[in-house]
Structure 1
Amino acid sequence: MTATTVRVHRAVLWALGLGCGALGLGLGFLVKPLVHGIIGLVGDAPGPLRLAAALPTAWAVPVLTAVGLAAGAWLAAEAKRDALELVVDHDGVHLEQARAERYLRREDVAAVFLDGRDLVFLDATTRQLARHRASDLPAQQVRAAFERCGYPWAGTADPHEGEFRTWVDGHPDLDDEAHGLLRSRARALTDEQLGTAAELADRLQEIGVVVRDRGGAQQYRRVPGA
């Protein structure tokens, strides 16, 4: 059987690009009264808007439409780059997101499911093999791709949901090593050092602690038997 590819729908990317073009078109007609209104309220307007307002409407409309289309094309390209792309077959799954690629062998996957915005893979010990943001992908297509190839699809909730606890620094449920790693990971997330946060999550798994992020907080569960 051939591989199944799931990626962000082209219509979404086209809508993003054309939507920005439409905004540019509308701004071309409205930029003069808009700038006059801003100046009347605060006494000044941003330089690019004042420059656009200085153009005759016959020029402002095509120029701002072109600018909108260019901005839309850039945003669509960025959205495509940041969205997860899956290629699933009976041997494994190839994941690509934000220019990073990963391959998981089918034999290593004991469960795959959607957990909120994320697509998650677990191994036989319940450790996470991978967790990727997948909110741009149609959930039904994701499920169908894995079920078609015989993967253990576990639905749209973490099968270990009830085991997660919100991390509280110093709580006796965890030892000093785990708390230290979670503190470092919290700082990495605050500083938007996502690579460092991912590395710390891997180190936590090595000592039997699985971590995820929910509502600005870290949640954790223990690996059975660890």
Structure 2
Amino acid sequence: MTTILATDFWTSIMPNVVANKDVFIQSTWETIYMTLVSGIIAGILGIIIGIALVVTAPGGILANRTTYWILDKLVNIFRSIPFIILLAVIAPFTRLLVGTSIGTTAALVPLTIGTAPFYARQVQNALVDVDRGIIEAAEAVGASPMQIIFRVYLREALPDLIRTSVVTVISLIGLTAMAGAIGGGGLGNTAISIGYDRFENDITIMAMIIILAIVFIIQILGDLWARKTDHR
């Protein structure tokens, strides 16, 4: 009886959501898939580029003006391109890699390219804040550049790296919704192709609620993890 009443309640306030329940389950998993896969790839690239920016900068442990200049300009260029334009510009490259420019797998390419430079700059900012005295002390005892990177930079900046990672993932979720609006799948596609185009507002509202729930969960877990690793 309780189940019947609950079903009737949801049907009365969100009839289109109930009718498209399977669509929401599928689109939610598509959003999680796009966020997880592109987030991992962009995260790895972002950390590598961010570290390279720090260590090759003037005064860095592997200072190289040319390398730093090239990386810095590339990050600035790709960060400056609006994501909706990036989707169109790299469509031929996306088709070359995955055979199509439409769908959740195809969306991984622009999502990664759009996120990696943003995260790289966040990583750079986090690592730059590491106490210079600790780095100099490590150099004084003969630590190699790789040891300084892993045992000093990444260890000391871990709480800030977690926080910037959370910000990046939340931003990435927003990008998945944008990619979905032009055929990338996920909740963005459901909100636009069904909710907006068919004037079924409850579909759009539910897509927004699910995205907000995902964002809140990521933010809470990220904050807890950052506090647990912050011993300052």
The TM-score range, normalised by the shorter chain, is: under 0.3
TM-score, length of structure 2 as denominator length: 0.24
Flag the structure with higher strand content. Answer: 1
Q: Which has the higher contact order (CA 8 A, sep 6+)?
A: 2
What TM-score results when the alignment is normalised by the length of structure 1?
Answer: 0.24
